[in-house]
Amino acid sequence: MQKLSDVLNSQKILPPAPPLMETLTNHLCYITVLLIPLLMTPSTDKAYSDAKLLALHVLGLSIGALTVSFLISGSLKQQLRNRKSVLFFALIIFYFFINVLSTLFSVNFIESFSLLKNLSAYFFIGSWVFFQATDEAFIRRLLSIIAIATGVVAIYGLLQYAGFDFIPLAMVRSPVSTLGNLNFVAQFYLGVLPLVCVALLLATRSLSRYFYLSIVVLSVIHLFLTHSRGGYVGFAVGLILFCVLYIRSRYGSFLSVIRRLVEPINRSRLIIIVSGVIIVFWTFVFLDRGETFRQISTIVYEQQESNRYRLLTWQSTLKMVKDYPLLGVGIGNFRFNFPRYKSSELWQMQDPWGKIRQIRTHNDYLNILAETGIFGFLSFVILVLFVLVNAFKSLSRNSKSPFFILQIAGITAIIATLTQSIFDFNLYNPHSALFFWIAMALVARLSFGNTNYPLTPRQPLICGRFFYPVLCAVLIAVFVINLTSYRYFVSSVYVRKATVSSLYGRNNDALNCYEKARTIFPHNIDCLAGEADLLRRTNQFLPAAAAYKRWLQKEPFMLPIYTRIGYCYVKLKDYNLAYDYFQVGLKLNPQSPVLLNNMANLLLLTKDYSRALKYFRRANKTPNSFSRANRLNFARVLLATGNDKEALNILRQLYHEQPTNPQVMQMLAQCEYRAGNLEQAKELYLRLYLLSPQKLKDKFLKQWQQINKNTKG
């Protein structure tokens, strides 16, 4: 009996691929590149990211399901006959495998799983673009939709800068658009502007050209209004690279290009063009008030605060790399481990109280090295170099190809993004990472050759029999994986409701919302933190301590947890546990003013004055560390340990700041009396007598009379 494979191979016409599935996958890809930059959800605390991540997981993994089904069914087999294509996908799979292995060292596996879903979505979308890269209709539609999304981002950002904001989530006149951060806006433009320029150059109608040109102009203006120095550097590198590659490959030299441009232009037209450029430039300078030039001038200045902050962060990250050199701390787990490695200067500069989470290291290369180790870093570098080296080698060969300009734009987008990645974290944000991997896919496909055949050969091997069963199985797997993303999103909605309720004083409603959020998704750190803090603020110290322990399991090196849980145990009078938590926190940041003062106050409660004095003195060395209450307690400890003169100076300062505070007046009166300043003590007791309630007047009157007798005697 003849085998099925022999029958299929012997036939000239084989079962066609399902065109509906191919069209569906294309449209999912279009929807993804349109929605990821634009989605916002004001109903969640992370209004700019929650919806983007949910859409990325659902759409990206759905595209992945369809792509995997095509691959398994044999529809894309011909696409992988090229050795370079096989090696490209092998490098991607190896890089992903290293990221999976790194999760073995994760402090928070749920965060690693979320980042792995992001990476999977980028790879799946990029894979489909790779297979479709020579389908001109697909590319033109994709570029048009990217241009539309870019135009919406630019127009909304410029309206915000002018003071018109339809969804007021950001600061007034801050052009963050739909991305939530000025650096994120720059990251986005570095990935999409070269592709929009391709849409402009490929446009055949005048109206289309003006449409794309207006988007490019508005986007460039918006990019400069972000004042992102890394964005400026990336844009400059990308612009120079684009011009150099295009001119060298097409014309050979810059001089020949200038001649071609000037010859058809008469003198009057040249004057008009130059005047127009000057007017636009100085109009921008006037509107921007010179801020752009001030930002550019600080790029290489080490002592500039954000530059110094980045350098200190990089130094601390290298300490983490030394402890986890091979596979890192786990993808997405930089934020959970970094507090252990922060230098004292960085603690003081960034946030001595430890309330701010440092999620990334402001350098993608160091971030990859810290989270996935030397294996992950090398696999990423080799993958990028493999694509870029082949791309530069193939430029001269493809100079006559209709896809030549797309290849140059892809190279520009990759290198511009990698340039800003030195100062930022482009590869971890969905609106920039997505377009980076799309550019990688386009450049890889156009560089590897064999671009003469369409996406799916119309002779798939066994597509008709196995395509739909495989598709159903993969879609079910995608649905199960995306349940966590959906549950996290719904949980975030309840966290937002709880936050609003607590702001309006509806604490019971807020606690109910937090409980629902925790039930839906127990790993939501924002929910765990918000619930614990609300319980503490409402003096429910025992359940608050339990809530802080739940938070501590997910984020074991978050400094404020130790401060707040220790405070709860102080209120519960469990001083030993409070002391233990304060000590662990001080190991993370020995200069934490809050923990030093809390430890000193705890020792004051237990009447261990000598040790309390040591912690107060350490706290006193940290800038802006002493509240008035802590200074008053410091004075108490000084008096208890016989440092009357130092206590007297502190109390006099407090009395000058709070002349009606009875505690300050009473302690100062006692201190003045012990120092022999009887007249000052008499005056203070008299004021206490006049300002105190009736039940305390007799006490202060007796003390005044006693001092008065001593004065006369």
44 within 8 A of 159, measured Cβ to Cβ: no
Question: Which of 382, 378, 445, 377 is closest to 411 using CA atoms?
Answer: 445
pLDDT classification of 9: cutoffs 50, 70, 90 = very low
Question: Which of 524, 443, 541 is closest to 485 using CA atoms?
Answer: 524
What DSSP string describes 462-478?
SHHHHHHHHHHHHHHHH
For 12, residues 6+ apart whose C-beta sits below 8 A from its C-beta are none
238 within 8 A of 219, measured Cβ to Cβ: no
> What does the pLDDT look like over 582-629, one tens digit per residue?
999 998 888 888 888 889 999 988 989 899 989 888 888 776 556 677
289: three-class secondary structure by DSSP: coil
* pLDDT value at residue 4: 32
How is residue 17 annotated by DSSP? P
Q: At what angle do helices 593-605 and 609-621 cross, to 10 degrees?
A: 160
Q: Rounded to 5 degrees, what angle do the CA atoms 373, 377, 380 make?
A: 145
* pLDDT value at residue 452: 43
592 within 8 A of 354, measured Cβ to Cβ: yes
Residue 262 clears pLDDT 60, i.e. is over it: no
> What does the pLDDT look like over 521-576, one tens digit per residue?
888 888 999 999 999 999 999 999 999 999 999 888 888 899 999 999 999 999 99
CA distance 464 to 74: 10
Residue 697 clears pLDDT 90, i.e. is over it: no
**First-residue to last-residue Cα distance in the chain:** 129
Residue owning tokens 């199960």: 480
Question: Which of 655, 672, 673 is closest to 664 using CA atoms?
Answer: 655
299: three-class secondary structure by DSSP: coil
* pLDDT value at residue 194: 93
271: three-class secondary structure by DSSP: helix
633 within 8 A of 600, measured Cβ to Cβ: yes
What DSSP string describes 43-106?
TSSSTTTHHHHHHHHHHHHHHHHHHHHHHHHTTTGGGG-SHHHHHHHHHHHHHHHHHHHHGGG-
pLDDT classification of 380: cutoffs 50, 70, 90 = very high
Q: What are phi and psi of 617, to 5 degrees?
A: -65, -40
Q: Which of the residue ranges 211-220, 465-474, 529-538 would you say has the lowest mean pLDDT?
A: 465-474
Residue owning tokens 């001119």: 247
Residue owning tokens 């008053």: 632
Q: Output the pTM of the full model.
A: 0.82
Q: Rounded to 5 degrees, what angle do the CA atoms 169, 173, 179 make?
A: 50
CA distance 215 to 186: 15
For 40, residues 6+ apart whose C-beta sits below 8 A from its C-beta are 47, 48, 51, 167, 169, 178, 180
CA distance 191 to 417: 6
**281: which 2 tokens?**
């430039």
**168: which 2 tokens?**
């007021």
